[in-house]
Amino acid sequence: MKSIDTLLHGRWVIPLADNGNRQVLDNYAIAIVGEHIIDLLPSAQATSKYQPHTEKYYDDHVLMPGLINCHSHAAMNLFRGLADDLHLMDWLENHIWPAEARFVNETFVQHGVELAVAEMLRSGTTCFNDMYFFPDITARVAAEAGIRACVGLIVIDFPTVWANNAEEYIDKGLAVRDYFKGHDLITTAFAPHAPYTVSDKPLQKIAMLASELDLAVHMHIHETVEEVSHAIETTGKRPLQRLDELNLLSPTLLAVHMTQLNTAEIERLAVTGSTVVHCPESNMKLASGICPVSRLQQAGINMVLGTDSASSNNDLDMFGEMRSAALLAKISTHDATALPAYDVLKMATLNAARALGIDDMTGSLETGKSADIIAVNFDTIETSPVYDPVSHLVYCCSREQVTDVWVAGKQRLRDRCLTTLDENEIIQRANIISQQIKLEQ
């Protein structure tokens, strides 16, 4: 028998591998050595083939790849519920930006990201793609907590606590990129905020650097009717046309929201290989619009999911996003077959890994890939009986059914308890900060 580190047995294993087979493996096991999966095989064979240091049986669970949140502003967890039931620009210009100017600093970002990472790990998310100030702090907190992160190198034209102008944002971002280059869990991407907050010159430089350094570009685009209308009034162009002319449409672009698209733009996104990040719950809450997911899928565009921030959502629950995405696609097209459950799972796993350029290491359960795995308990009133585990994950599971999480072979959630973060301390700090914000508003 071969000695290994960990052997996980699942009632169902859903690999989500990109092999054309929509597999649900019954009574299978995952063999792990160090950070990597070395085998997937029937449990009966695994017990005779391997001698594990740690062996766990999940007789009523699904074992599947960890979820990947492709759009977040993690530190904004500390603004959860601060300004609800408002239009986007009112919410942003009159509430969020003023609050950020008053309260955001390195300590705020550290504690906000700790709160967000704790929530994400407890929700089955093993990787997140972020955009916020002090990306160095976000990267450090993520690395210490043991979660995978693509940290956005934010760029905006106007001054904030992080930088004074676009050139300084880019320079400081590149320093963060250099510091974390080669890190096991941390990658970086350029994160220009939006077409209406970043001018042509810095966008041209970002396009050039992204190509040279092979970095993704993560950006809010075509979020609302008003954004597109304003761009036409001021520039004579729709935002996507302007970005295309600046060479930003490419396989490295993660275009977030994209609720306002015409046929020509969908065709152009497909030709350039761009990814669209769908944030259904934030879009619904801010009444921004509906991303045409079915049309984008039919065009062959890579579709992924994000939560947006806890101040506009108000959670980082990828199970909720999957359900909302599936249901919204059906009602918006009057087609009950639109965006089936398996496709939604791929949006939250392998498609997302591909968008971030890390599909060689995560996003599916395959030999040689990182052991980024979650266990989801189906032995509950809410999920009994089970006819189709894939359908259950999308339509009736909640994040509270995630019992265990591994990132790179290390257990980060055990029986619903975090192993690298102090939950009580995080809650207490969040409550103290919220009281300070209430007093100073």
* Interatomic CA distance for residues 126 and 349, integer angstroms: 10
Entry pTM: 0.98
Q: Cα 340 from chain centroid?
A: 20
Structure tokens at 439: 């007093």
β-strands 275-278, 253-257 pairing: parallel
From residue 78, alpha-carbon distances to 84, 106, 116, 127, 128 in Å are 14, 13, 9, 20, 17
Return the pLDDT at 68.
99
The amino acid occupying position 115 is L
Its CATH architecture, for the domain 2-65+371-408, is Roll (2.30)
Identify the pLDDT of residue 88: 84
Q: What is the pLDDT of residue 360?
A: 97
How many C-beta neighbours within 10 Å does residue 82 have?
19
Residues of the chain with CATH 2.30.40.10: 2-65+371-408
What one-letter code names the amino acid at 64? M
Q: What pLDDT, on a 0 to 100 scale, did the predictor assign at position 420? A: 98
In whole angstroms, how far apart are CA 399 and each of 148, 269, 370? 19, 32, 22
Q: Judge whether 150 and 130 are in contact, CB under 8 Å.
A: yes
Q: Tell how strand 36-42 and strand 125-132 pair up.
A: unpaired
Q: How far apart are CA 372 and CA 432, in angstroms?
A: 33
Query: If one looks up domain 67-355 in CATH, what number appears?
Result: 3.20.20.140
Distance CA(56)–CA(361), nearest Å, equals: 23
3-state secondary structure the chain: CEEEEEEEEEEEECCCCCCCCCCCEEEEEEEEECCEEEEEEEHHHHHHHEEEEEEEEEEEEEEEECEEEEEECHHHHHHCCCCCCCCHHHHHHHHHHHHHHHHCCHHHHHHHHHHHHHHHHHCCEEEEEEEECCHHHHHHHHHHHCCEEEEEEEECCCCCCCCCCHHHHHHHHHHHHHHHCCCCCEEEEEEECCCCCCCHHHHHHHHHHHHHHCCEEEEEECCCHHHHHHHHHHHCCCHHHHHHHCCCCCCCEEEEECCCCCHHHHHHHHHHCCEEEECHHHHHHCCCCCCCHHHHHHCCCEEEECCCCCCCCCCCCHHHHHHHHHHHHHHHHCCCCCCCHHHHHHHCCHHHHHHCCCCCCCCCCCCCCECCEEEEECCCHHHCCCCCHHHHHHHCCCHHHEEEEEECCEEEEECCEECCCCHHHHHHHHHHHHHHHHHHC
d(CA 384, CA 387): 9
Specify the amino acid at residue 430. A
CB 191 within 8 A of CB 227: no
Task: Kindly give the pairing relationship between strand 410-414 and strand 402-407.
Answer: antiparallel
Cα 144 to the center of its chain, rounded Å: 19
- Residues 300 and 298: their CA atoms lie apart, in Å, by 5
Per-residue pLDDT of the chain (441 residues; tens, 9 = 90+): 899 999 999 999 999 998 767 899 999 999 999 999 999 999 999 999 999 999 999 999 999 999 999 999 999 999 999 999 998 889 989 999 999 999 999 999 999 999 999 999 999 999 999 999 999 999 999 999 999 999 999 999 999 999 999 999 999 999 999 999 999 999 999 999 999 999 999 999 999 999 999 999 999 999 999 999 999 999 999 999 999 999 999 999 999 999 999 999 999 999 999 999 999 999 999 999 999 999 999 999 999 999 999 999 999 999 999 999 999 999 999 999 999 999 999 999 999 999 999 999 999 999 999 999 999 999 999 999 999 999 999 999 999 999 999 999 999 999 999 999 999 999 999 999 999 998 776
Q: Are 409 and 34 in contact (CB under 8 A)?
A: yes
Q: Measured between alpha carbons, how far is 264 from 321 in angstroms, rounded to an integer?
A: 27
User: Amino acid identity, residue 7?
Assistant: L
Q: How many residues appear in the chain? A: 441
| Rounded Cα distance, 283 and 293, in Å | 13
Place of tokens 């699942």: 10
Beta bridge partners of 218: 254
